[in-house]
Amino acid sequence: MYSKISETPIFKGISSDEISNILNSTHHQIKTYEAEAIIAFSGDECNNLFVLIEGSIRGEAIDYNEKIIKIEDVFAPDTFAEAFLFADQNNLLINIVANTKSKILIIHKEDLLVLFQSNKKILENYLNIISNRFVLVTKKLKFLSLRTIKAKLASHFIELSKKSKNNTIFFGKTQAELADYFGVTRPSLARTIKEMKDEGIIEVPGKMIRIIDYNKLKKLIE
Amino acid sequence: MYSKISETPIFKGISSDEISNILNSTHHQIKTYEAEAIIAFSGDECNNLFVLIEGSIRGEAIDYNEKIIKIEDVFAPDTFAEAFLFADQNNLLINIVANTKSKILIIHKEDLLVLFQSNKKILENYLNIISNRFVLVTKKLKFLSLRTIKAKLASHFIELSKKSKNNTIFFGKTQAELADYFGVTRPSLARTIKEMKDEGIIEVPGKMIRIIDYNKLKKLIE
DNA sequence: CTCAATTTGTAACACTTGTTACATTTCTTT
DNA sequence: AAAGAAATGTAACAAGTGTTACAAATTGAG
């Protein structure tokens, strides 16, 4: 079990022996949930760090019309709901439900603070996790605030082209997946890609995207 | 100066005397910038915490077409750019420019980590700041992902109504400001408000909004 | 290789929002 | 109280996206 815990982002770089010592001197709980058990409710105060040791959980949002929307799956070994812990408004925005039988290490926020003070590595790991999550959300926010599909596509292609060669991007997702990521419909995305082809901005050989006119592409953003 | 520092969120609840002690035993810099001086460039690695003691700074984004867009102003006493510090990808996404002559306390991330370990209050404050920022951005993201203006307005009204009485909301902003916050144009927002009036969902007496049909309002949110 | 499933291309039409323009109302200042 | 500024109401039209439907192409399993 300790080796599983050492694979979670927050205990990364800490040996199983150390984890054993840490848990001996830190107040904590280990709980097991059956499949489909509700681990925490939307609206609950979140005062504990959850470390998923075994199994898989999902987050479910409930919209104003009581419709359930699956947000994301988390698979062991990982942590979840960690970013709300120290916020003033620390109520969960989603239900946490076990997908499969799951074992979870639970550490209260006060105990976690004590742990942070005695173990620099865990503190660094935690700061790293929530900072990365913040950067991710901020980038997504910036992206979503682009008005048109063309602008989003252009921004996406430019970002990908930074990490690739020959101005050629490998199109790793299906159009349906990309459309979903963009928050638009699949036919609309396809239409936009076609327009960019027609305008001579890109070529689409097979599963690749080749950028022909980088300047035109940049002008599409904003 | 120490009393100014004690008013920043990260040194909140710490006396001037304590701050004096802390700074004596913590490696740091205090720099002064003239108005319009560039404090940090977009793309720079961000390895320092910036504590604004005097003056005011602004963040400026530069889009793909080299156009400058003002993001936000920060006024002393406060901190800024703190959420990127411990992220893997810790490059600034904006330029930081002094609006007025400004005095800034700069603490390197390594020194800050040491400080976190010796001072629980500062650690708590920092976790609180970035967590709150994360919650804010997450909510904004959720909000932006609502498709129509009507859905955004409905969500906004419902959130506000939770904090008010009689189903009556005080409309604190002008339509132009609200439209900007929503990322839509002012005439479009006005049209949507009119539609909601015509549909008998709300009444708009003066600067107030009164919710008439709460159920219809909820159904507008996707 | 073949057939079924998946993915992609495309079109017509409806809906939502942006754009522009101007009238009307409300607020501010003198 | 009057004049000017700011905010709001409204309309016509353009642009962009969603919806629905179906055909064509590609992929995967047997």
Question: Is strand C within 7 Å of residue A186 (CB)?
Answer: yes
Question: Nearest nucleotide to A148 by CA–C1' distance?
Answer: D16
> Nearest CA to CA, how far is A30 from chain B (Å)?
25
Whether residues B125 and B163 fall in one domain: no
Structure tokens, B93: 């996404």
Indicate if A137 and A183 belong to the same structural domain.
Answer: no
CA separation for the pair A201, A214 (Å, rounded): 7
Q: How large is the average pLDDT for residues B122-132?
A: 94
Same domain, B126 and B156: no
Q: Is the CB of B204 under 7 A from strand D?
A: yes
Query: How many domains in chain B?
Result: 2
The pLDDT-based confidence of B52 (bands split at 50, 70, 90) is: very high
What pLDDT, on a 0 to 100 scale, did the predictor assign at position A65?
67
> Is pLDDT of A191 > 90?
yes
What pLDDT is stored for residue B142 in this prediction?
A: 85
Three-state secondary-structure class, residue A1: coil
CA distance A53 to chain B (A): 24
Question: Do A137 and A151 belong to one domain?
Answer: no
The CATH number linked to A159 is: 1.10.10.10
Say yes or no: B54 and B154 in one domain: no
Q: How much of chain A, in percent, has pLDDT values that exceed 70?
A: 99
* Surface of A (12-41) touching B: CB under 8 A: none
B70-114 pLDDT, tens per residue? Answer: 778 899 899 998 888 999 999 998 899 999 999 999 999 999 999
- Asked if residue B192 and residue B112 are part of one domain, the reply reads no
CA atoms lying within 13 Å on the CB side of residue B150 = 16
pLDDT for residue B67 is more than 90: no
**Residue-wise pLDDT tens digits, A8-63:** 999 999 999 999 999 999 999 999 999 999 999 988 999 999 999 999 999 988 77
pLDDT at position A18: 93
Residues 93-152 of A with CB under 7 A from strand D: 147-150
Residue A115: the pLDDT is 94
Full domain range(s) for residue B17: 2-142
Of B111, B142, B173, which residue constitutes the final position of a domain? B142
Q: Are residues B105 and B34 in the same domain?
A: yes
Q: Which helix (H) or strand (E) holds A38?
A: strand A38-40
The pLDDT of residue A162: 87
What are the tokens at A136?
């991710």
Q: What is the mean pLDDT of chain B?
A: 90
Residue-wise pLDDT for B147-203, tens only, equals 899 999 999 999 889 888 778 888 788 999 999 888 899 999 999 999 999 999 999
Based on the fold, state whether residues A123 and A24 are members of the same structural domain.
yes
> Do residues A160 and A210 lie in contact, with contact meaning Cβ atoms separated by under 8 Å?
no
Neighbour order of strands in the sheet with B78-80: B29-33, B102-108, B48-54, B78-80
Tell if the CB–CB gap between A124 and B113 is shorter than 8 Å.
yes
Same domain (yes/no): B180, B87: no
Distance B11 CA to D21 C1' (A): 62
Query: In terms of domains, do A111 and A154 share one?
Result: no
pLDDT of residue A221: 85
CB B103 within 8 A of CB B53: yes
| Facing residue for B134 by CB, picked from A65, A83, A128 | A83
Nearest chain A alpha carbon to B93 = A139
**CA–CA separation, A122 vs A26, rounded Å?**
13
Among A142, A166, A185, the domain-final residue is A142
* Nearest residue, CB atoms, B86 vs list A64, A131, A137: A131
Backbone angles phi, psi at A220, to 5 degrees: -75, -20
Q: Are residues B128 and B172 in the same domain?
A: no
